[in-house]
């Protein structure tokens, strides 16, 4: 599902003229918060329930350069939803060419922000995540081994 659309600006580019890795991560992070919101992990939920999400692992596969002026989209999907853990993927594509520029696989944990410990997702969030399950295909996203 679509979770981000934007443009590569000149200040996103490094000394060799392509988007720097820090901006890939930043754009993927924005997509993550959109995905969380679609699942019910909204800012209101986080504040009212004293809950949060923490990243446990991120793997990025860079496939194609992006340059200033390129317009990009990120699509995201959940491929595993457990009691306290969610695994998901973001794929970033160049809108003009349709080519995969990068993908990120993320493992996140649901946590109690007061106790600073993991805790179970509410049933409605687990159900929403499981309703979004997509096939896990790491080779499709450029990952060689898992």
**Which tens digits make up the pLDDT trace of 18-70?**
999 999 999 999 999 999 999 999 999 999 999 999 999 999 999 999 999 99
Q: Does the pLDDT value for residue 146 go beyond 60? A: no
Query: What is the pLDDT, as a whole number, of residue 55?
Result: 96
Is the Cβ–Cβ distance between 100 and 41 less than 8 Å?
A: no
Instruction: Write down the pTM of the prediction.
Output: 0.93
Contacts of 118 (CB under 8 A, 6+ apart): 84, 109, 110, 111, 112
Query: What is the pLDDT, as a whole number, of residue 145?
Result: 66
Place of tokens 């992070």: 29
Q: How far apart are the C-alpha atoms of 4 and 72, rounded to whole Å?
A: 8
Q: How far apart are the C-alpha atoms of 121 and 110, rounded to whole Å?
A: 6
Beta bridge partners of residue 58, listed in sequence order: 106
Domains of the chain: residue spans and CATH: 2-133 (3.10.129.10)
**Which tens digits make up the pLDDT trace of 63-99?**
999 999 999 999 999 999 999 999 999 999 999 999 9
**Which tens digits make up the pLDDT trace of 112-132?**
999 999 999 999 999 999 999
Is the Cβ–Cβ distance between 86 and 80 less than 8 Å?
A: yes
Q: How confident is residue 105, by pLDDT bands cut at 50, 70 and 90?
A: very high
């Amino acid at each position: 599902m679509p979770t981000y659309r934007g443009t590569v600006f000149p200040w996103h580019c490094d000394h060799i003229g392509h988007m720097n890795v820090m901006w890939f991560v930043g754009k993927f992070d924005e997509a993550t918060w959109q995905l969380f919101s679609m699942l019910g992990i909204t800012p209101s939920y986080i504040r009212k329930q004293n809950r949060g999400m923490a990243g446990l692992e991120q793997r990025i596969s860079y496939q194609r350069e992006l340059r200033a002026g390129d317009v990009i989209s990120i699509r995201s999907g959940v491929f595993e939803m457990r009691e306290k853990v969610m695994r998901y993927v973001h794929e970033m594509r160049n809108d003009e060419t349709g080519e995969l520029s990068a993908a990120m696989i993320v493992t996140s944990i649901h946590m109690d922000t007061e106790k600073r410990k993991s805790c179970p997702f509410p049933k409605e969030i687990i159900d929403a995540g499981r309703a979004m399950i997509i096939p896990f295909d790491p080779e499709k996203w450029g990952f060689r081994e898992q």
